[in-house]
Amino acid sequence: MTQPAQPAGDQPTEEKSEGAHPLGLLPGRRGGLTSAEVAERVARGEVNDVPVRSSRSTREIVRANVFTRFNAIIGVMFGIILVVGPLQDGLFGLVIVANTAIGIIQELRAKKTLDSLALIGEAKPQVRRDGTVQQVAVGGIVLDDTVLLGIGDKVIVDGEVTEADGLEIDESLLTGEPDPVLKQPGDQVMSGSFVVAGAGAFTATKVGREAYAAQLAEEASRFTLVKSELRSGIDSILRFITWLLVPTAIGLIISQLAVEGRDWREAVRRMIAGIVPMVPEGLVLLTSVAFAIGVVRLGRKQCLVQELPAIEGLARVDTVCLDKTGTLTEGGMDVVDLRLIDTGEDPDHPLPDGPAPDAPAPDGRRPAGPGDSPRGRGGPDDRGTVKETVKQALGMMAGADARPNPSMRAVIDAYGDGSGERTGGWRVIEAMPFSSARKWSGVQLLEPQGGEATWLLGAPDVLLPAGHPALAEVDELGAQGLRVLLLGRTAVPLDAPDPAAGLRPLALVVLQQRLRDDAADTLRYFESQRVQAKVISGDAAVSVGAVAAHLGLPGADHPLDARTLPADPQAFADTAERTTVFGRVTPQQKRELVGALQSRGHTVAMTGDGVNDVLALKDADIGVAMGTGSDATKAVAQIVLLNDSFATMPSVVAEGRRVIGNIERVAGLFLVKTVYSVLLALLVIFTHSPYPFLPRHSTVLSTLTIGVPAFFLALAPNNERARTGFVRRVLRLAIPGGVIAGTATFTAYALARADHATDLESDTSVATLTLFLVAIWVLAIVARPYNWWRLLLIGTMCGAFTLVLTVPWLSDFFQLSLSGTRDPWIGVGIALVAGILLEVTWRIMRRTADD
């Protein structure tokens, strides 16, 4: 049902706030709460005070970074070292403190960026107070507020509809039902739903935590750490390590106490030196830091990341589905032509309506007849008269639209705002706004001579029967990248079941969309990165194809009308995979196309800005909304481009690849250390030997071969698309690398002990040298392909270790001294053999992965 529209000339003269709603102040409507009533409700706590946050609180960030399982283990070990001394063996504790501080600082920076960006992109609902329309914050709505709604607006709180003008609300995010619900005064609306057609207002009946979707909204807008393959894989590895850590630690404690029975302090130190390297404490921390830095970097580009896993999802994307309007083209449009359609009728009767002039319409009202033409009967300038009448009707339609879309705004710019003065006394009886499901809008007009007629403006291929001669002209214009709307007139009332029945086409409104300057370059970027771009639009297929072809999109010369998509799921998925451009796609079909691509193993990102994109955005692996898009799209999207720039997408995808690719790269370093530490512990237990290292030695090795290099490698550029199988790929290098490093180290240590079993410091120094060389070789493999800064990084780590060995006060502090030349060179030789084995293993694993 539609509501009677007020005459344009009846608008009140009071000033409205900027951005006032079309339903803001019409005669007979309540002026909303007064300021005093609002203050009373705020004092009573009847305010929408749900603490919607875009990120974790500072307390949660500190707690998450400090109170971890592995920090607890390391903390206990550090406490023990403080008791048994010396202090240099407790350096690993200071590293944990530093790393935790870095994690907290980086996440607090991310929080600051997110909170500020979320504030920029936050919805500002309009309410009616003190007789004026005002914009308030979401948390500023109070009980009994009159909240105004338009197309794309999200229902913030629960309420009861008080005004409706063709108001249709989609409750699919709450109920799962995809069909929009037509709302009338007295109907209930629930928070979390959104408007897809029409306009209206409702009275808030439940606010704050009492609202139906309050908790869901809070969770949806929070900066979350939800499940993802990367985090699940890391958690699986850490759980396994935890179970392996306990028995290994117990065995190591017993063996060291037995071997160093006369010096229990030395036994405890070497036991801790064996346990601490098993803990890949930096892996979890570095993951959080990389995510946080990624969020900050994207924030600087006006890109709001609403969920951390979106970073990972971006790295895995291989298909991007784009909406033409607002993505490839700018929001604005221009009317470039108005073409009258030759109806083949008598020129003396330019606007025929079908039934005889005196025949009543189905609702008993008299339809407009030929004699009711605004200019009277025909004459020598008849087609000019028709064109002027068409322009006047378009002006009335534009003025009656509560929330004009870009096409209607172009009509407003071309043909006026529908004021009675401009259109010679026409009046709007009823109005029906544009709906993406109907693909047309309409008005019922009282024309100057007293007759009534319905005027419809919409998609020609929807309003016209198949084979109509005008469709050939529409296709010709669409092939040029132009958008074409059909204007028609009928005697059927607007509230009839099918207002388009008997429609007489009168004119084609030709519009031109402005292409984004950066669209072509962005599409070329996706092509170079092997990311397939697909254009999915509700516009005519030939028009969409023309725009895509102009931008150089491969496959754009074969656009497909979505109405011809096969019903069979298998055939549907085949068509979705091989087709690049889709036109006349309904919101439900957008969702089905995303699902079909996902069924073929694709990771799909979907961009959109309108309510017709919400279902597809929700189901896509990554939903990307435009900052000026509807509240509904921003609510379900993981990423919001606040600057509305499609050119930001390459940076977004590149950032995701950088983060995930580098985390996978450095994860191998941490797990190599875990593997060789466990192996060394087991060898020590079985051979009843002193553990080859003190905690200070493990600190030097971890810092120079893993900690510092991993930090820089995690921030390096990386354009490789992430793939599934994270755990398998990481362990493919970590297990053989750790086994080779541990075996080589223990071999050099055993040979040194065979020469002088009593000089434990010299034996430890040989083992430290050997392990450093093997670990640096692992780092050299992980750091490929080389560039100047990566070579400099490896060289710097080698130089730092050389200083530790050669500078007297450093070698004394870390208790390292190489005696003679035989054992050190044996260690170097063993490390060289181990490096060759690492190279062979790495090449075999790489070839296997490629196959």
Q: Provide the annotated active-site residues.
A: 323
The helix (run of H) or strand (run of E) holding residue 340 is strand 329-340
Nearest to 697 by CA among 758, 750, 754, 745: 745
Q: What is the DSSP string of 593-655?
A: HHHHHHHTT--EEEEE-SGGGHHHHHHSSEEEEETTS-HHHHHH-SEEETT--TTHHHHHHHH
Nearest to 239 by CA among 685, 849, 727: 727
Q: Name the token pair of 468.
A: 């109509």
Rounded Cα distance, 538 and 832, in Å: 64
Rounded Cα distance, 383 and 564, in Å: 37
Contact 275, 702 (CB under 8 A): no
- Is 779 strand, coil or helix? helix
Nearest to 651 by CA among 719, 594, 605, 596: 719
> How far is C-alpha 681 from the chain's CA centre?
45
Contact 234, 280 (CB under 8 A): no
Write b or e for each residue in 190-222: b if 16 or more Cβ atoms lie within 10 A of its Cβ, otherwise e: bbbbbbbbbbbbbbbebbbeebbbbeebeebbb
Rounded Cα distance, 314 and 316, in Å: 5
Residue 31 one-letter amino acid: G
Nearest to 457 by CA among 440, 475, 445: 440
Q: Name the token pair of 557.
A: 């010369």
- The sign one gets for the Cα dihedral 378, 379, 380, 381 is negative
Write b or e for each residue in 385-408: b if 16 or more Cβ atoms lie within 10 A of its Cβ, otherwise e: bbbebbbbbbbbbbbbbbbbbbbb
The helix (run of H) or strand (run of E) holding residue 560 is strand 560-561
Residue 608 one-letter amino acid: G
Separate counts of helices (H) and strands (E) for the chain: 28, 21
Q: Which residue has the tokens 């929080």?
A: 111
Residue 366, judged by CB atoms within 10 A of its CB (0-12, 13-18, 19+), counts as middle
Nearest to 52 by CA among 635, 640, 615, 630: 635
Nearest to 151 by CA among 457, 406, 404, 443: 404
DSSP state of 362: T
The helix (run of H) or strand (run of E) holding residue 394 is helix 382-400
Q: Tell me how long the chain is.
A: 851
E strand intervals along 436-550: 440-446, 452-458, 482-490, 504-515, 532-536
Distances 120 to 53, 192, 303, 610, 639 between C-alpha atoms, Å: 13, 20, 11, 19, 14
Instruction: Put residue 86 in one of left, alpha, beta given phi > 0 → left and psi -120 to 50 → alpha.
Output: beta
Nearest to 170 by CA among 817, 614, 487: 614
Q: Name the token pair of 519.
A: 């669209």
Nearest to 540 by CA among 801, 325, 301: 325
Distances 467 to 101, 471, 474 between C-alpha atoms, Å: 70, 7, 12
